[in-house]
Amino acid sequence: MIERPRGTRDFLPEEMRRRRFVERKMRESVERWGYEEIKTPTFEHLDLFTLKSGEDIVDEIYSFEDKGGRKLALRPELTAPVIRFYVNELQNEPKPLRFYYFDDCFRYERPQKGRFREFWQFGIELIGGRRDLANFEMITLSVDILRNIGLGKFDLHVGDVSLLKKAVSSQRDDLDEEKERKIFRLMDKKDEEGLKTYLAEIGIDAENLSFLMNVSGNQRFVSTSDPIEEAKRIFGDIDEIKQLSTLLGLLNAYEIYPKIDLSIARGLDYYTGIVFEIYAEEGLGAQRQICGGGEYDLIELFGGREERSRGFAFGFDRIMEVLKIEKEEENRIMVISTDDCRREGIKVARKLRKKFKVELDVMGRSLKSQLSYANSKGVKKVVIVGKREVEGNFYTLKDMDSGEQISCGEEELLEICQR
């Protein structure tokens, strides 16, 4: 027996119904904001991801050489492919551009609860727009999606990665990209002890950056009731603080009240300004993050003209872990008939399929066995077409829950099935 690869899953029909239901709700949410779906290839040139995240990412992804010797990779995320698509073909389109996507991604990592080697992302990219208004839309849309799918309990954290970069560079003005990248990776992993050790190793006084150390627990930046004022005390009344304060005012107007969290580093080090993360309150253990995003610079890196861009992605699989969805009642009908009445059964099934999900027996079972099968599959209504029904020009409709049976003509049958 050949088993499925480690870190992948099979989904039964019931689970797929749940997933498609949530996917539809997400699509409806973003389309109401004017976002349009795009799709990119499952694999890309490896350079697309190493340019963005450095050579270290090769150890974390599925990369390979094709028969022509080209270095390729299964996509580990979708932002880079979307921006590559934009630079290739869409730079001259009127701004803003509002895109969304839903697709599977692949990472070579240790599988655990809420983390798989094949996983699904639902996200958006917003290219163009004034900073305060575009950042407001990005964050508000993420919250709207969660509210629309019925996830009521979550924590929204908002920060600004440029403040972290300023804090680090103020201690050492000769830090290279590799050292800076390691600092932010340690922060993203919430590795407080590892971060302290590394800062000491490269000659940065951890005590002078004590706010950087507070990266565990609830990830709050400070314990003060006014983190904006605390940020001003550390950085001064700079533009980044003003932008953050303006953003908070816009979010409050939409009845969104995030936690200010200036320890957010984001694992992908191309983020440049406002960043945010959303955590589930329960159901995921340590892997609580279900959404993350922010402002980033990739367009110029990929050879395009400078343009502000931002986006976010949901970990769709993690959302499915925490989202409680009642089992949907399906209006499924089964038409059962004897061999000598098979043609009449096929005809009525064809008419019913214009409005309903309809199954026909393909096993050649007896009427009794077909009824038993329908019951085992949870079918609510069964249309019986036997010799008696054909001769009398009517159908027998059976309610499988109550056991009640009624005889009816075609029009009445269609009407009753809709109830």
Binding residues for L-histidine: 77-79, 107, 121, 125, 266, 270-271
Q: Residues annotated in the binding site, as ranges?
A: 77-79, 107, 121, 125, 266, 270-271
**Cα 46–chain centre separation:** 23
The answer, yes or no, to whether the previous bond of 111 is cis (omega within 30 of 0) is no
Give the integer Cα–Cα distance in Å for 108 and 79. Answer: 18
- Identify the CA nearest to 183 among candidates 263, 281, 240: 263
DSSP structural state of residue 237: S
Q: Is 410 helix (H, G, I), strand (E, B) or coil?
A: helix
- Say which residue the tokens 């499925």 belong to: 4
Q: Is 189 helix (H, G, I), strand (E, B) or coil?
A: coil
- From residue 13, give the alpha-carbon distance in Å to each of 150, 290, 362, 412: 21, 24, 19, 31
Q: Packing angle between helix 227-235 and helix 239-253, nearest 10 degrees? A: 170
Give the integer Cα–Cα distance in Å for 14 and 26. Answer: 19
**Contacts of residue 67, Cβ cutoff 8 Å, sequence gap at least 6:** none
Strands 271-280 and 289-296: antiparallel
First to last CA, the chain: 45
C-beta neighbour count of 94 within 10 angstroms: 6
Q: Which two tokens stand for residue 254?
A: 């939409």
Strands 97-106 and 118-127: antiparallel
| Whether the Cβ atoms of residue 138 and residue 314 lie closer than 8 Å to each other | no
Give the integer Cα–Cα distance in Å for 86 and 302. Answer: 10
C-beta neighbour count of 17 within 10 angstroms: 15
